[in-house]
Amino acid sequence: MKLRTTTMAFATAATLSLSALQAAAYEPGEWIVRAGATTVAPDESSSKVRLDGTVLSLDGGTSEVGVDNNTQIGLTVTYMLTSNWGVELLAATPFTHTVEGKGELGAVGDIADIDHLPPTLSAVYHFDLGNGFTPYVGAGLNYTLFFEEDLKSGADSVLSGLGLTGGDVELDNSFGIALQAGLDYEINDKWFVNASVRWIDIDTDAEIGFDNGSKLTVDVDIDPFVYSVMIGRRF
């Protein structure tokens, strides 16, 4: 349902843009480079946390996890194949998110810090509304690489009290679709400002392994909205 709703929203944006289509602002063979602030805002949901395959219950209830927002420097590079169609690569400095307990794990607070890189390759269609405005929509594929997963000291202390010591956090990398809509506003014939929003399908299986062989596991649909405000230049 989440994917269907998100897809419909981006399709509506594309339809509105098409209705106002005029001549394209860019030329075949141009490179379009943008850089600026990019915020990854997870719209996450998770399965119940399990200990060795059994739902974790600390006091008769169940536990889940959440993921907070993070802002880093984002970079996009687009090569224009035609005056409308371009191929875009999204890159960024590593994002760091804190995974927090929800439900019965809420009392634990922050559980782990995770770093990730979300390179995304997309096909993008650009429109020119006149007066320097160039909206665009796109779709592509994302590969999210997780690394530097560290258990927080508070969570480590609580888990040690349950006999779970030496916790080692691991997250599976993710491969999924990405949708986007954005707008360039021309400052002069080379420079412009940009704003965009993306939705990225990021799903991962998280695991904390302990010295005694026990494992805490949870499936997390991170599915973030990614907001960017950038400065761009055409080459």
Q: What is the DSSP letter of 211?
A: T
User: Which domains, ranges and CATH numbers included, belong to the chain?
Assistant: 2-234 (2.40.160.20)
% of the chain at pLDDT higher than 90 = 70
178 has pLDDT over 60: yes
**pLDDT tens, 125-142?**
999 887 899 999 999 999
How far apart (Å, rounded) are the C-alpha atoms in residues 193 and 88? Answer: 17
Report the C-alpha gap between 119 and 91 in whole angstroms: 5
Residue 122 has pLDDT above 80, yes or no: yes
Total-model pTM: 0.85
